Amino acid sequence: MSSDQDHLKETDTEARFEFKKEQNAAVKSDKGLTEEVIRMISEDKDEPEWMLERRLRALKQYHNMPMPSDWPGMPDLSQLDVEEIIPYIRPDVDKREGVDDWTELPDEIKDTFDKLGIPEAEKNALSGVGAQYESEVVYQNMQEQWEEKGVIFMNMDRAVQEHPELVKEHFMTTCVPPSDNKFAALHGAVWSGGSFVYVPEGVTVEMPVQAYFRMNSEGMGQFEHTLIIAEEGSEVHYIEGCSAPKYGTHNLHSGGVEVFVGEDAHVQYSTVQNWSKNTFNLNTKRAICEENGTMEWVSGSMGSKATMLYPCTILKGRGATDTHITIAFAGEGQDIDTGAKVYHNAPDTSSTIESKSISKDGGRTNYRGLVHIADGAENSSTAVECDALMFDNESTSDTMPYMEIEESKVDVAHEATVGKIGDEDIFYLQSRGLDDDDAKKMIVAGFIEPITEELPIEYAVELNRLIELEMEGSLG
Amino acid sequence: MSAGTQVHANLTEAQVREISEGLDEPDWLTETRLEALAALEDLDMPDVIRTPGRDWTNLHELDFESLVDPLNAAEDKDQVGPEDAEVLPWAEAVQEHEELLKEHFGSIVDPQENYLTALSTALFSTGTVIYVPEGVDAEDVTVRTEQNSRSLFNYTLVVTEESSSVTILERQSTGAEQDEQYYSGIVEVAAGENSYVQYGSLQNLSEEAYNFTVKRGVADTYATIDWIEGNLGTQLTKTEVSTTLSGDSSETQIVGAFYGHNDQHFDLDAKVWHRAEHTTADLVTRGVTDDVARSVYEGVQDVGKDAWDTSSYQRENTLMLSDESEADASPKLIINNHDTEASHSATVGQIDQEDLLYMTSRGVNPRAARNMLVEGFFVPVLEEIDVDELRDDLQELIGARLRQRE
C-alpha cells in the first residue's frame, strides 16, 4: 500500500488541524466513497479477498440505489453529504484488534470512556465489554468462564480473520443484504469494527454482553457491524451504548446489526444511543428468528439530528416471538423517526410492540411501523401500542403504522394515543410540594418506566439521567 | 405521468368544448376544464400507500384509454329535495347560480390535484348543486345516479348558509349491466357557520366497475360535517373522504362501512385536518373482506399548529372471513399542537370462535350464527346513521351479500 501510505501522511497532517481533541489517528481515509477508499480500508485490515469483494459489490449497489425520498414525512437528509464524510479512522492503538488490558489504552481514549462509566460497568462483574472508538474496537474483554463454554465475543474485524466460515455464511447474506436499502449498501462497503457474538447450542450467558461506541472526530462516519449468532437453545443479552460529542459539521452513523436467533434460543438486544445533535443516525438492524425463538429489542433513542431506525424481526419459524420496546426523545432541532418492523412468516408467531415518545422544544418524533402477516401465518397475533407525550406547541409527534394482513386467522391490534402532560397530574404533584420541573420529570420517569425496567440498572440509570438532562435543556 | 396511463392521448379540446357547450357553461368554466385537460400530461395518479417495494393499490394498471368515452355519457338521475332548499341539476345551476359556482367550484378539491381529479374536471357531464339558505332545515335530499354508459363523470357541490342543516343521501348504481365501467365523482361541501351537513353515500356499482371518488368538506365556525360512506360495489374503488375543520369549534364524523368479496379491491381514505381551535373529529370504519377481496385503509388525523384544544379519535376494524383475503391498514396521527387528545386504533381479526361456539351450542346453525355475528359487527357503524333509508339499505345490502355466501 505504498501509494496509500503517501496520501495517509497528508491526511494525517490535516487531521491535526481538524480534530477538536488532540488525537493522533494511525490511519485515516480520504473523504467520500471511492473504490480506492474501500480498498484502503480492506487492506489496512488485512482482509481476505472475499470480504473485499463483498465491500466492492456493496459499493456498486450503493451507487446504483436512490436515496429514500418518497416516505411521507421522512426526516430531511438534504444536509447529509456522504461524499464529505470520512468513512474510516483508526486510532493510534498498538494492537489493531484491540487491547486486553484497559490500562494499556491511550489516555485520551481512556478518559472518554472513563467519563462514560464503561470501566465501572465492567468492574461491576459484567461479562464483557467491547469499546469502539471511531472505526476500531480498542478494548475487548470476555470473562474466561464464557470462553470455556465456547462463547465468542470479539471485535468484528478479528472475527473475519479468526472465524471466517461463520462470518462468510452470516455476514450480510440472508439477514441484511446490502441490497436492502441505500444505507445498508453504504454500510456493506465501508463497515468497520463492531461486535461478533457467537453462543453455542444450549449455552446461557447469564450476564449481559456489552459494547460501547464512541465517535470523537469531526465529520466522520461510524459504520460498526454487529453479528450475533445464538445457536439452538442458547440465551444471550447484548447491550450497546453509543455517543458522540457535538461538532459543527455533520457526522454519519450507519451501523448494521444482524441477529440469528436459533431454535428455542432467546436474544435480547438493548441500545441506549445518545449521538450528538449533528449526527445522522441511519441504521439497519434485523433479526431472523427460528422455531420458538425469542427476539427482544429494547431501545432508547436520544440524541442525533435525525434518526431513521426501524429494528426488524423476521419470525421465520413456527412459534417464534418478538418484542419491541422503544423510547424516543426529540428535543430542539431533532427528528427521531423510529419504529419497528415485524414479518410474521410462520404460523403461531406473536409480536408485541410498545413505543413511547417524548417531544419537546420543537423536536419531532415519529413512530413508523410495519407489521406484515404473510399468507399461511395462521394463529399469529400482534399488538402495537404507541404513546406520545408532547411538551409544547413547537413540537411534533406523528404515528404512521402500516399493517399488511394476508392471513385471516390472526389477531391484530394497533393503538396509539397522543397527549400533552396532564395539567391535573402536574397540579396534583405540585400540591404535594413538588415544583413544576420536578413534577414534569416525575411524570416522564413514570411514562418511560416500561423501558427502563427492561434494562440492567446501569443503563436504566443512564437513560434516566440523559432524559433528565434533556428536560433541563442543559445537554449540548 | 408514469407510462401506462395514456388516456389523454385520445382526448381532445373539441370533446371538452362540446361537453361544456352542451351544458351552456360560461367561459370561465370552459377554461377551467380546458386547463385541467392540458394539465393531464404532467399530473400523476393520486397518492396511494407505499411501503418499500410495494404500491398497495396500483392505479396505473387501469386501461383508462378504453374505459373513458367522454361523449357517450348516459345516466338515469333523481335529484330531489324539500322546497325550501335548492337541489339543482348541473345545467340549471349554471344558469341560476353562476356566482355561487364561481365562488366554490374547485375551491375545496383542486381540479389539478392529480390526474384523476383533472380528468373528472375536464369531462364531467352531470352534477348536482345543493344550496341551503340561512336557517333552513332541509331533510331527505336524495341524489340517485344510475350509470348507463361506459364512463360517467359526476360533480356535486353542497353549500349551506349560516345555521342551516341538510341531510343528503347519494346513491350510485349501475343500470343495464356493462362489461367494464369507470365512475368518477367529486364532491365539495362548504358548510357555513353553525350549519350541519350529513352526507351519506351508498356506492353499489356493478362489480365490473372502477370507481374514483373524492369527497371533501370545509367546516366553518361551529359547523358540523358528518360523512357516511358505504362501499359495496366495483372491482376497484379508490376513494377519499375528508374534512378540513377550518372554523373554531367545528366538528366532523366520518363513518365508513365496506364489504368486499370475490376479487374486489377497496382503497379507502378517511382524513381530517384540524385547523382551528376546539375542533372535534371522530372516525369510525368497519369492514369485511371475503374470498380474495382486498381492503386498504388509510386514516389521517392531522392536527395543525394553531389547533388548540383538539379532540380526535379514530377506529378501524376489519373482519376477515376468508383466508385468501387481505386487509391492510395505516392509521396515521400527525400532531403539531400539544394541547391535543388524540387516539387511534385498528384491529384485524376473524369471527370470534368462542362467540360462534356459544351461538351454535344454543342451537343456531353455524351459517346463521356467522351471519348474525357479521351483521352485529356492523351495528356500531349503522347506529351512527341518521337517515333511516340509508341505514336500512346498507343493512339490507350487507345481509344480501352474506346470504350469497356458501
Q: What are phi and psi of A339, to 5 degrees?
A: 180, -145
- pLDDT tens across A222-281, in order? 899 999 999 999 999 998 877 666 556 678 889 999 999 999 999 999 988 877 788 899
Q: Count of CB atoms within 10 A of residue B277's CB?
A: 18
Kindly state whether A405 is in contact with chain B, defined as any CB-CB distance less than 8 angstroms: yes
Residues of B in contact with A416 (CB under 8 A): 331, 333, 343-345
Residues from chain A that touch B343, judged by Cβ atoms under 8 A, are 415-418
- Interface ipTM above 0.85: yes
Q: Which of B333, B336, B340, B345 to mutate to test the interface with A (most CBs of A within 10 A)?
A: B333
Burial class (CB in 10 A: 0-12, 13-18, 19+), B262: exposed
Integer angstrom CA distances of residue B236 from A50, B29, B180, B209: 50, 30, 11, 7
pLDDT by residue for chain B (406 residues), tens digit each?
444 455 677 899 999 999 999 999 999 999 999 999 999 999 999 999 988 778 899 998 888 888 999 999 999 999 999 999 999 999 999 999 999 999 999 999 999 999 999 999 999 999 999 999 999 999 999 999 999 999 999 999 999 999 999 999 999 999 976 789 999 999 999 999 999 999 999 999 999 999 999 999 999 999 999 999 999 999 999 999 999 999 999 999 999 999 999 999 999 999 999 999 999 999 999 999 999 999 999 999 999 999 999 999 999 999 999 989 999 999 999 999 989 999 999 999 998 888 889 999 999 998 999 999 999 999 999 999 888 999 999 999 999 999 988 6
36-75 in B: which are within 8 Å (CB) of A?
Answer: 49-52, 56
Q: Which residue has the higher pLDDT, A450 or A388?
A: A388
DSSP SS3 for B181: strand
Residue B406's pLDDT is what? 65
Residue listed under C-alpha cell 447450542: A201
Contact list, A412 vs chain B (CB under 8 Å): 346-349
Which residues have CB under 8 Å from B315's CB, separation 6+? B283, B284, B285, B344, B345, B346
Whether the predicted pLDDT of A457 surpasses 90: no
CB contact under 8 A, B321 and A408: yes
Cβ-based contacts of B52 with chain A (< 8 Å) = 181
- pLDDT given at position A19: 33
- Res. A446 pLDDT band, cuts 50 70 90: confident
Taking CA–CA distances from B326, the nearest residue in chain A reads: A406
| Cβ separation A402–B49 shorter than 8 A | yes
CA distance B329 to chain A (A): 5
**Could you write out the DSSP letters of every residue in A144-177?**
HHHHHTT-EEEEHHHHHHH-HHHHHHHTTSSSS-
Q: In the prediction, which pLDDT does A133 show?
A: 61
- B294, closest residue in chain A (CA to CA): A406
Residue B267 CA to residue B231 CA, distance in Å, equals 10
Percentage of residues in chain A with pLDDT exceeding 90? 47
Question: Given A393, A405, A408, which is nearest B337 (Cβ)?
Answer: A393
Q: How many residues does chain B have?
A: 406
State yes or no: pLDDT of A142 exceeds 60.
no
pLDDT single digits (tens) A318-341: 999 999 999 999 999 999 999 999
Q: Report d(CA A143, CA A163) in Å as an integer.
A: 19
Non-local (6+) Cβ contacts of B19 within 8 A are B33, B70, B71, B123, B124, B125
SS3 B293: coil
pLDDT confidence band for A440 (50 / 70 / 90): confident
The answer to whether the Cβ–Cβ distance between A400 and B332 falls below 8 Å is yes
The closest CB to that of A390, out of B56, B327, B335, belongs to B335
String of DSSP letters for B207-219: TTEEEEEEEEEEE
Angle between helices A35-44 and A182-190 (to 10 degrees): 50
Minimal-distance CA residue of chain B relative to A408: B323
CB contacts < 8 A (A, B): 114
CB-CB neighbors (< 8 A) of B56 in chain A = 404
Pick the residue from chain A with its C-alpha nearest to B50: A71
DSSP code string of A90-103: EE--SSTT-BSSGG
Which residue among A393, A409, A420 sits closest to B323, beta carbon to beta carbon?
A409
Torsion, CA A340, CA A345, CA A350, CA A353, rounded to 10: 10
Q: Kindly tell me if the per-residue pLDDT of A397 is higher than 60.
A: yes
In this complex, do B334 and A396 lie within 8 Å of one another by their Cβ atoms? yes
Residue A195: strand, helix, or coil: strand
Are B331 and A414 in contact (CB < 8 Å)?
yes
The reply to whether A408 touches chain B by the CB within 8 Å rule is: yes
Q: Is A409 on the interface with B (CB under 8 A)?
A: yes
Q: Are A405 and B328 in contact (CB under 8 A)?
A: yes
Give the nearest chain A residue to B351 (CA atoms).
Answer: A409
Nearest to A279 by CA among A330, A221, A229: A221
Dist CA A187 CA A309 (whole Å): 14
Q: Which residue among B326, B334, B336 sits closest to A406, beta carbon to beta carbon?
A: B326
Residue in A closest to B353 by C-alpha:
A409
- Alpha-carbon gap: A413 to the closest alpha carbon of chain B (Å): 4
Chain B residues 296-335 with CB within 8 Å of chain A: 305, 318, 320-335
Sign of CA dihedral A35, A36, A41, A43: positive
SS3 assignment, position A390:
strand
In chain A, residues 53-72 whose CB comes closer than 8 Å to chain B: 70, 72
Exposure of A458 in the CB half-sphere (CA atoms within 13 A):
18
CB contact under 8 A, A378 and B49: no
Pick from A71, A404, A420 the residue to mutate for testing the B interface (most B CBs within 10 Å): A404
Q: Bigger pLDDT: A213 or B298?
A: B298
CB contact under 8 A, B342 and A417: yes
